[in-house]
A and B are shown apart, each in its own frame.
Chain A
Amino acid sequence: DTEVTQTPKHLVMGMTNKKSLKCEQHMGHRAMYWYKQKAKKPPELMFVYSYEKLSINESVPSRFSPECPNSSLLNLHLHALQPEDSALYLCASSPRTDNYGYTFGSGTRLTVV
């Protein structure tokens, strides 16, 4: 299995809703990432997990809450989002011990109404 699987593919949520994005990989990668991509822009790093521990938070607002329950799963919990948070949310993973690039998932397209 050489894929990163993200669910759901599309999500529409209201500003008072709570929802979660899910990411799963079975490649044995020990680093997992959340990126946010606005239209016609490159991805921007949000969080990095290394060996299931949060190692980087790029000053992301607390309405985004990441969680790494085990080495294969990464969640992003969403609460009280704003319309400007609408974007493509990409999960990625990489082997922790080398520098050979990420494997990205296909993303969750989030719309906040």
Chain B
Amino acid sequence: GDSVTQMEGPVTLSEEAFLTINCTYTATGYPSLFWYVQYPGEGLQLLLKATKADDKGSNKGFEATYRKETTSFHLEKGSVQVSDSAVYFCALSVVDSSYKLIFGSGTRLLVRP
């Protein structure tokens, strides 16, 4: 079945450090890929998305490239801020009758001043 695997957290970084959160997927169809962010006590916000191979999604300094050959969608940011501290979820959906979102387990990011 379809699934998403994320790196274990928490990831602890100092402010202005480079961030990578790994995400790989397994899908029977041709998925769209997403990164969602959840700040403490809040719902999920769509951070970025990519709908086909080699697409790069970007938002607020975060980037991720849809790599079909490696079935990956790693999240990167060149210089993190304390305000980026949150839980990041990688997710996929396959166009079928359900439009179900399948989430990875989430990676908690803690950025220290």
Question: Residues of A at under 8 Å CB distance from B?
Answer: 6, 31, 40-43, 45, 48, 50, 55-56, 88, 90, 92, 94, 96, 99-107, 109
Contact = CB atoms under 8 A, between A and B. Distances in A.
B46 A103 contact: yes
B66 interface: no
A90 B44 contact: yes
A55 B106 contact: no
Nearest to A42: B103
Interface residues of B, number: 23
B101 interface: yes
A88 B36 CA distance: 16
A43 B93 contact: no
A56 to B, nearest CB: 5
Interface string B76-113: 00000000000001000101011111011110000000
Contacts of A106: 42-43
Nearest to B48: A101
